[in-house]
C-alpha cells in the first residue's frame, strides 16, 4: 500500500483544521449554507433527506485492517453502527452530526484517511480494479498510476471548481473490473505488439440522465505523459464545459456537443504546449511510486491442497461458496476471496461496525492485513492461502458475509434510494430486498450464471442501472413509484447502455417482471455456457417484450 | 472602494473601472481598466493617455487574444461571477505560465476566504473581496495549507520532484 509521507500527513492535518474552522463559521452564522455547501461538499459532506451524509474516500479501493477498524469506530461512535460501501469504492455514513464531522476527520487522518474531494464539482477519488496486483489477467498494476493521479488531483488549484463532478477510473487487466468506459476519463493500461506499455484514454463516459460510453481519444499514450495529458483534458473541459445547465455540464456533453474529433484536436493542441513541463513523469517518478506497491512476501506454495479438496467434497455449502466467491490468484496456492455484502439481511453495500472489526481481524489472520472495496459494492480479501479457505469461510458465514452470489443475480447494485437520498424519486432498497428474497436459491442462481442486476432510485443513476444486464430505474409517476426495466447493459470491456424494454411496472409487479425476463433467457439460451447478455444480444428485445407485455 | 488585498496586504486601490465607451479625452489621468474588447478597438489612442492601463475579461474570453499586448497592460482583471464558476483559474494560469504575464492579475466578484489559496496558486496577486469578507481571515487563508502536490504558478515541479 502507499505509505504516507510527512507532507501527506501534514496536508490532512491542515485540511482538518481548515474544515473545523469552516464548520465553526457555519455554526456561528458567518458562512451561509449556500457557501458552506461548496466547502462541505469538497469534504464529502452532503445534506440528505434526514441528516448529513459523510462520504469517506477509499483511494482506488485499498484499505488496511487498521483503517477498517477506524471505519468501524466511526460507525459506532458517530453513526448508527454501520456504513455503506458505494459504487465508487468509498464508504458513506448516513447519520453523522455536523458538529462531530471535524472530529471524525481527525480520527480518519490518524490512519491516513480523509473525505477530500469525495463530492463537489472537482476531481473525485480515483477508482480502480479491486484485483490490482493480484489478478491473473493483469497487464500492468494500475495502483501506481492511481496514486499519481491522486496526488496530482488533490487540491488542484485550477480544477477545484469545474463545471461538474469529474470521475477517473484506471484499469490494467484484460478484463475491465473498474467500468472505465462509464467514467469522465477512463484509463486502460495496455501493451502493444512490441510489448511496450501504453495508455488508452477514454473521455466522456458516464451514466446519469444521459448515459454515454466513453470515446477513445488516445489509443496509446506514453505513460510518462499521463498527467500532462489529463491536465490538458481538464483544462479544455474547464474552459468549454457548460455552466448554464447542470444537467448538461458533465464532460460527456462537452465531448458530444464539441464533437469527438474536434475535442481530441483541442486536447492535443493544449497538450502540445504543456507536455514537456514539470508534470511529465520521468522513469524514476514512476519507479518511486511503484515501490509502494511491491508484491508482499508470498510463500512458495503448491496450487493443490488435500485438506481443501476434502472440504470441498464433504461440505457442499463450502463448495458452493468456493465456486462462486473465490477467484484464482496470480500466485499458486493463493486465492482472491469476495466478501458478499449482498445477504438477505442487509441493504446492498451495508456493513455493520462489528462486521468491519471482524473483517479487519480476518484480513490480519488470513490476507496480509489488507482489504479492498469493489465498484459492485463488495469487499475483497486478496491474498488468502488455499489451505485457509475453509476456515475463513466458516468465519465469514458466521458473520453473514459468505452469501455465494458473486457476479450472480442477487449480487445486485442498489443506490440508497428514497430511504435516505434527497434526490431519489423512488425506493430502491425494498425492491432489492424483494428480489433477493425471491431469487434466494443457490441452484437457481447457479443455473442463471454470470449476470448483473442494478437498481437506481432516480434518473441520476447512482445504482448504475444503465450498465446492468438487467437494470431497474425507479421513477415517480403522478405520485406513484414505478419501475422501468432496461436490458442489455454492460460495464465491462464490452460496455453498452441497456435499452428500456417498455412501460414501467409497479413495485408489486417488478419482481415478477424480472422473473419473466429470466425465464425467457433460460428457455432460449443455446446452452448453459451462453450468458444472459449473449442471449439477449443474439435475440434482441422481441421475445422479452412479448413475454412481459404480450 | 471596498475591501482590497494586494500582495497579501490590505491596500488602497488606485484603479478605476471604465466602460471604454467614453470619449477618450474625457477619461481622467491615472490608472484605469476597461473591457478587453474596447482595448482592442482603441489600443493606440488609449496608449497615448497618461496613466496605467488594464483590461477586464469575461471568463469566456480566450486570453490568447491578449498575448501581444501583455507588456502594455499593468492590470488584468478576471471574474468570478459566482463562487462555483472556476473558469478564471485557467485564464490566470495561462496568462502567467504560457504568456509570461508579470503584471497584476486581480480577482473580482465572489472572491471569498475559502478560494484565495487556490487563486494565488493560479497566479492572482490582488483580490477585490466581497463586502462581507473579513480581511485578516482572508490574509490568514493564504497560508492555511502549506502542502501542494502539483505544479502551478508558485511551483514548477510536482511534490515528487521537489
Query: Which chain A residues are within 8 Å of B90, Cβ to Cβ?
Result: 158, 235, 238-239
Q: If DSSP codes are grouped into helix, strand and coil, which group holds residue B159?
A: helix
- Give the pLDDT of residue A39: 86
Q: How confident is the model at residue B1 (pLDDT cuts 50, 70, 90)?
A: low
CATH of the domain at B11: 3.20.20.70
How are beta strands B75-80 and A185-191 bridged, if at all? Answer: unpaired
How close, in Å, is residue B56 to chain A by CA atoms? 17
Q: A413-549, superfamily in CATH?
A: Sulfite Reductase Hemoprotein, domain 1 (3.30.413.10)
Q: Determine the Cα–Cα distance for residues A36 and A530; give it in Å rounded to an integer.
A: 52
The answer to whether A128 touches A143, Cβ cutoff 8 Å, is yes
In the prediction, which pLDDT does B22 show? Answer: 86
Domain that includes residue B72, residue range: 4-161
DSSP state of B49: S
Domain definitions of chain A by residue range: 6-110, 134-292, 306-398, 413-549
- All residues of chain B having their beta carbon less than 8 Å from the beta carbon of residue A238 are 86-87, 89-90
Q: What is the mean pLDDT of residues B70-86?
A: 96
What is the radius of gyration, based on Cα positions, of chain B? 16
Provide the 3-class DSSP secondary structure of residue A133: coil
Nearest to A152 among B114, B121, B158 (CB): B158
pLDDT at A422: 87
Strands (DSSP E) found in A167-296: 168-171, 185-191, 197-203, 215-221
Which residue in A157, A161, A165, A228 has the most chain B C-beta atoms within 10 A of its own C-beta, making it the best mutation to test that interface? A157
- Torsion, Cα of B141, A120, A244, B116 (10° steps): 10
Please give, rounded to a whole number of angstroms, the shortest distance from the CA of A33 to a CA of chain B: 13
Overall fold of domain A134-292: Sulfite Reductase Hemoprotein; domain 1 (3.30.413)
Which of A158, A162, A238 best tests the B interface by mutation, with the highest count of B CBs <10 A?
A: A158
Q: 3-state DSSP helix/strand/coil percent for chain A, to nearest 5? A: 40, 20, 40
Here the cell at position A373 is 472495496
DSSP code for A388: G
> Chain B, 99-158: which have a CB under 8 Å from a chain A CB?
112, 114-115, 117-119, 121-122, 144-152, 156-158
pLDDT of residue B23: 86
User: Which residues of chain A make contact with B100, given a CB cutoff of 8 A?
Assistant: none
Query: pLDDT class for B28, splitting at 50, 70, 90?
Result: confident
Which stretches of chain A drop beneath a pLDDT of 70? none
Average pLDDT over residues B57-62: 96
Cα separation of the two ends of chain A: 55
- Residues from chain A that touch B83, judged by Cβ atoms under 8 A, are 35, 38, 161
Domain total for chain B? 1
pTM value is 0.95
For helices A389-398 and A306-314, the axis angle rounded to 10 degrees is: 40
Distance CA A343, CA A347 (A): 8
Considering only CB atoms, B144 lies closest to which of A18, A239, A277, namely A18
Answer for the pair A311, A318: CB distance below 8 angstroms, yes or no.
yes
Q: Across all residues in chain B, what is the average pLDDT?
A: 94
Contact A162 B86 (CB under 8 A): yes
Probe site for chain A from B87, B131, B156 (most A CB atoms < 10 A): B87
| CATH code of domain A6-110 | 3.30.70
| Residue pairs between chains A and B whose CB atoms are closer than 8 Å | 99
Residue A152 near residue B158 (C-beta atoms within 8 A) = yes
Neighbours of B47 (CB within 10 A): 11
Element (H, E) at A31: none
Chain B residue with Cα closest to A272: B98
Query: Of B83, B89, B149, which is closest to A38 when you measure between CB atoms?
Result: B83
Predicted local confidence at residue A42, as pLDDT: 84
Neighboring chain B residues of A33 at a CB cutoff of 8 Å: none
pLDDT for position A447: 96
Please give the residue of chain B at the shortest CA–CA distance from A289: B160
Q: What are phi and psi of A194, to 5 degrees?
A: -85, 0
Please tell me the distance from the alpha carbon of residue A420 to that of residue A426, in angstroms, as a whole number: 11
What CA–CA distance (Å, rounded) separates B162 from B159? 5
Chain B residues lying within 8 Å of A226, measured CB to CB: none
Given the cut 0.90, state whether the ipTM is greater than it.
Answer: yes
Judge if A134-292 and A413-549 fold alike in CATH terms.
yes
Residue A205 is predicted with a pLDDT of: 96
Q: Which neighbouring-strand residues pair with A201?
A: A187, A218
Residue A169's pLDDT is: 98
CATH class of residue range A306-398: alpha beta
Q: What is the distance in angstroms between the Cα of B121 and the nearest Cα belonging to chain A? A: 6
Amino acid at each position: 500500500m502507499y505509505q504516507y509521507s510527512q507532507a501527506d500527513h501534514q496536508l490532512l492535518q491542515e485540511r482538518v483544521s481548515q474544515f473545523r474552522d469552516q464548520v465553526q463559521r457555519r455554526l456561528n452564522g458567518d458562512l451561509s449554507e449556500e457557501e458552506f455547501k461548496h466547502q462541505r461538499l469538497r469534504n464529502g459532506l452532503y445534506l440528505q433527506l434526514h441528516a448529513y451524509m459523510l462520504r469517506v474516500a477509499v483511494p482506488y479501493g485499498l484499505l488496511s485492517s487498521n483503517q477498517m477498524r477506524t471505519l468501524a469506530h466511526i460507525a459506532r461512535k458517530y453513526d448508527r453502527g454501520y456504513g455503506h460501501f458505494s459504487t465508487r469504492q468509498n464508504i458513506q455514513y448516513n447519520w453523522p452530526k455536523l458538529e462531530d464531522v471535524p472530529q471524525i476527520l481527525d480520527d480518519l487522518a490518524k490512519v491516513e484517511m480523509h473525505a477530500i474531494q469525495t463530492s463537489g464539482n472537482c476531481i473525485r477519488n480515483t477508482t480502480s480494479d479491486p484485483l490490482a496486483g493480484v489478478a491473473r489477467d493483469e497487464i500492468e498494476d494500475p495502483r501506481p498510476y492511481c496514486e499519481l493521479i491522486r496526488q496530482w488531483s488533490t487540491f488542484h488549484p485550477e480544477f477545484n471548481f469545474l463545471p461538474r463532478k469529474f470521475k477517473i477510473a484506471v484499469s490494467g487487466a484484460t478484463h475491465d473490473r473498474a467500468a472505465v468506459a462509464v467514467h469522465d476519463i477512463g484509463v486502460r493500461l495496455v501493451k502493444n505488439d512490441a510489448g511496450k506499455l501504453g495508455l488508452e484514454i477514454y473521455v466522456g463516459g458516464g451514466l446519469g440522465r444521459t448515459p454515454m460510453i466513453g470515446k477513445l481519444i488516445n489509443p496509446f499514450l506514453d505513460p510518462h505523459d499521463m498527467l500532462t495529458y489529463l491536465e490538458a483534458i481538464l483544462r479544455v473541459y474547464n474552459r468549454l464545459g457548460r455552466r448554464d445547465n447542470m444537467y448538461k455540464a458533465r464532460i460527456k456533453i462537452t465531448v458530444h456537443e464539441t464533437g469527438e474529433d474536434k475535442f481530441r484536436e483541442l486536447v492535443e493542441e493544449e497538450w502540445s504546449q504543456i507536455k514537456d513541463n514539470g508534470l511529465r513523469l520521468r522513469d524514476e517518478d514512476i519507479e518511486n511510486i511503484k515501490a509502494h506497491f511491491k508484491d508482499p512476501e508470498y510463500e512458495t506454495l503448491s496450487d493443490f491442497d488435500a485438506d481443501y479438496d476434502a472440504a470441498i467434497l464433504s461440505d457442499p455449502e463450502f463448495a458452493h461458496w468456493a465456486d462462486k466467491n473465490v477467484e484464482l490468484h496470480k500466485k499458486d496456492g493463493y486465492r482472491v476471496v469476495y466478501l458478499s455484502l449482498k445477504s438477505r439481511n442487509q441493504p446492498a453495500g451495508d456493513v455493520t461496525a462489528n462486521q468491519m472489526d471482524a473483517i479487519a481481524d480476518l484480513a490480519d489472520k488470513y490476507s496480509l492485513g489488507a482489504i479492498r472495496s469493489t465498484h459492485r459494492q463488495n469487499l475483497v480479501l486478496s491474498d488468502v492461502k488455499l489451505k485457509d479457505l475453509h476456515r475463513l469461510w466458516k468465519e465469514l458465514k458466521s458473520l453473514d458475509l459468505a452469501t455465494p452470489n458473486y457476479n450472480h443475480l442477487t449480487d445486485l447494485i442498489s443506490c440508497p434510494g428514497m430511504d435516505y437520498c434527497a434526490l431519489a424519486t423512488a425506493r430502491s432498497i425494498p425492491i432489492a430486498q424483494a428480489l433477493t428474497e425471491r431469487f434466494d436459491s443457490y441452484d437457481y442462481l447457479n443455473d442463471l450464471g454470470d449476470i448483473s442486476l442494478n437498481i437506481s432510485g432516480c434518473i441520476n443513476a447512482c445504482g448504475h442501472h444503465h450498465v446492468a444486464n438487467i437494470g431497474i430505474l425507479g421513477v415517480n409517476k403522478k405520485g406513484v413509484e414505478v419501475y422501468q426495466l432496461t436490458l442489455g447493459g454492460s460495464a465491462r470491456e464490452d460496455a453498452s447502455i441497456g435499452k428500456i424494454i417498455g412501460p414501467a411496472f409497479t413495485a408489486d409487479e417488478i419482481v415478477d417482471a424480472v422473473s419473466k425476463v429470466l425465464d425467457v433467457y433460460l428457455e432460449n439460451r443455446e446452452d448453459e455456457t451462453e450468458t444472459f447478455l449473449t442471449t439477449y444480444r443474439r435475440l434482441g428485445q422481441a421475445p422479452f417484450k412479448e413475454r412481459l407485455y404480450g | 472602494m471596498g475591501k482590497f488585498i494586494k500582495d497579501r496586504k490590505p491596500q488602497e486601490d488606485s484603479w478605476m473601472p471604465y466602460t471604454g465607451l467614453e470619449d477618450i479625452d474625457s477619461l481622467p489621468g491615472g490608472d484605469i481598466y476597461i473591457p478587453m474588447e474596447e482595448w482592442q478597438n482603441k489600443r493606440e489612442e488609449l496608449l497615448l493617455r497618461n496613466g496605467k492601463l488594464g483590461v477586464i475579461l469575461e471568463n469566456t474570453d480566450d486570453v490568447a487574444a491578449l498575448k501581444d499586448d501583455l507588456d502594455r497592460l499593468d492590470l488584468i482583471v478576471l471574474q468570478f461571477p459566482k463562487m462555483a464558476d472556476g473558469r478564471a483559474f485557467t485564464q490566470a494560469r495561462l496568462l502567467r505560465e504560457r504568456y509570461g504575464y508579470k503584471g497584476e492579475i486581480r480577482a473580482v466578484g465572489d472572491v471569498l476566504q475559502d478560494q484565495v489559496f487556490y487563486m494565488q496558486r493560479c497566479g492572482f496577486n490582488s483580490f477585490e473581496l466581497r463586502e462581507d469578507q473579513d480581511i485578516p481571515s482572508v490574509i490568514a487563508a493564504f497560508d492555511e495549507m502549506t502542502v501542494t502536490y502539483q505544479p502551478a504558478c508558485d511551483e514548477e515541479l510536482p511534490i515528487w520532484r521537489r
